[in-house]
Each structure stands twice: as C-alpha cells, then as structure tokens.
Amino acid sequence: MTEANTVEPTEFSFDAESDAMIAKHLAKYPAGKQASGVLPLLDIAQRQMKRVTGSAWIPRVAMDEIARRLDMAPIRVYEVATFYLMFNTKPVGTWHLQLCTTTPCWLRGSDDVVAACRKVTGIQGWGETSADGQFTMSEVECVGACVNAPILQVNDDFYEDMDASSTVELLEALRAGTQPPVGSAKGRQNSAPEGGPETLTTLQFPTTSAGE
C-alpha cells in the first residue's frame, strides 16, 4: 500500500461515467425522495475510486459530495456507509479478499482457506492490507452461496469450493496480475453435484431433430 492511498483525499467529484450512472439511478425516485439513492451512489463512488486509484473505497469527501447531491445531512450518509460491510471507508488492496467464516463455510473448511490466505499474503488481522498493497483480508458473514462452500470473494467475484491449495494457486495468480475464471475450484458446473448428475439419470429426452 502506497502512502498516498492511506491519506484521505481533500476533494472528490464524480466523473462523467459515474454521472451517467447516477442520473440513471436517481430517475427511479420521485422528486424529494432522492435520498433513497444513497446506496447506489455510494456504490458508484466506490467503483469510481477503484477505476481511478485502484483501491475500492469511499473517502469522507465522497460521502460529503453524495450528501450534497442528495440534499441530506452528511452524517446520514456516514451512517449508511459504515453500516454496510460492502462499503469500505478505508483504502483496500487491489484484491479485496472477503472470506466467509459463517457456519456452512466453516464446516466445509473455511479455516484452511483463511490460513492459506494469511500464509500467502502475510496479513495477520482482519481488515488489514498486505505490505505490497495487493491484498486486503476481510471477514464477512454469509454471502449466500453455501452450497458451494467455502467461498472466497475477491472484489465482486465468487471463488467457490475452495481449499488450501486452490487458495494458494488463486492468490499467486492474482499477485501475478491475472484473474483466473470465477466459479468452482473443483470444476463442477454451478452448484451441480460433484462428478456429474446423481439423480434423474434414467430419464431419456428425445433429441429435437428426431422429433421432426
């Protein structure tokens, strides 16, 4: 993590790309109720920070700008931004590792995934960023993909069915600057059973061409 990234910027303004998205979202709300758009705007701000600085986070000046745009008190924006774990109010690394340690993932071995992450990145505590600024590790609650547990979410993407070795492999690839395809590390299709279908195997479907 470079020193410049940890410092709170002194100003923030939405760029043209963000402005286009903001207009789209605010059109959903009736006049006077535009404060309802605070969540999309926070997300847009975080994505703009990712685009511009490489670190997906929302500085305070961005929250102030959102408050100004939506005509609400800045503290109301701070409250929302700090409530949701998806919004980072401190800078994060290029790859934000969000590790689910809730019961299903834990039962399926999330402890191994966490240990592998620590070993590769050298990060000790939750919410910390590695010395090279590449990785930030966060502990998250259930991300809603228990059937493919354990889950390692990297930025917006889910890596599923993780274990220690696949985690090391993934992190090495990320460090090298390539992002492997998302999905199951065991190669299963979505959340289908491992090793192919186990039920309804006797059903026969006529091929479409034969029917005509």
Partner 1 sequence: MAKVTVNGIEVEVPNGSAVIQACEAAGIEIPRFCYHERLSVAGNCRMCLVEIEKAPPKPFASCAYPVADGMVVHTDSPMVRKARRGVMEFLLINHPLDCPICDQGGECDLQDQAVGYGGDHTRYEENKRAVKDKDLGPLVKTVMTRCIHCTRCIRFATEVAGVPDLGATGRGETMEVGTYVERALGSELSGNLIDLCPVGALTSKPYAFTARPWELKNTDSVDVLDAVGANIRIDTRGAEVLRILPRLNEDVNEEWLGDKSRFAVDGLRRRRLDKPWVRRDGKLHPASWDEAFAAIAAKLKGKEGDRIGAIAGDLCDAESLLALKDLMGALGSVNLDCRQYGEKLDGSRRDFYLFNSGIAGIEDADAILIIGSNPRHEAPVLNARIRKRYVAANIPIAVIGAAADLTYRAEHLGDSPAVLKALLNGAHPFAEVLKTAQKPMIIVGQGALRRVDGEAVLDGAWTLAAQSGALGAEWHGFNVLHTAAARVGALDLGFLPGTGPGVGGKGVAGMMGGGVDVLWLLGADEFDTSRIGTNTFVVYQGHHGDAGAARADVILPGAAYTEKNGTYVNTEGRVQRGALAIFPPGDAREDWTILRAFSAVVGKTLPYDTLEALRSRLEKVNPVFARVGFLPRFPCADLTGPGVAVPARSPGAMSDAAFVDAVANYYETDPISRASPTMAECTVTYAPTAKLAAE
**Which CB sits closer to partner 1, 28 or 33?**
33
* Closer residue to partner 1 (CB): 90 or 188: 90
The residue (of 83 and 205) whose beta carbon lies closer to partner 1 is 83
CB-CB contact of 150 with 170 (8 Å): no
* Count of residues in contact with partner 1, rule CB under 8 A: 9
Question: Which residue in 120, 133, 99, 200 sits closest to 168, CA to CA?
Answer: 120
How far is 171 from 31, CA to CA, in rounded Å?
Answer: 46
Q: How far is the CB of 125 from partner 1 (least distance, A)?
A: 15
What is the rounded distance in angstroms from the CA atom of residue 91 to the CA atom of residue 120? 20
Confirm or reject binding of residue 25 to partner 1 (CB under 8 A).
no
> What DSSP line would sit under 89-120, residue for residue?
SS---SEEEEEE-SHHHHHTTHHHHHHHHHHH
Contacts of partner 1 in 40-99 (CB under 8 A) = 60, 73-76, 78-79, 82-83
Residue 26 is classified by DSSP as: H
What is the smallest separation between the CB atom of 83 and partner 1, expressed in angstroms?
Answer: 5
Point out which residues bind partner 1 (CB under 8 A). 60, 73-76, 78-79, 82-83
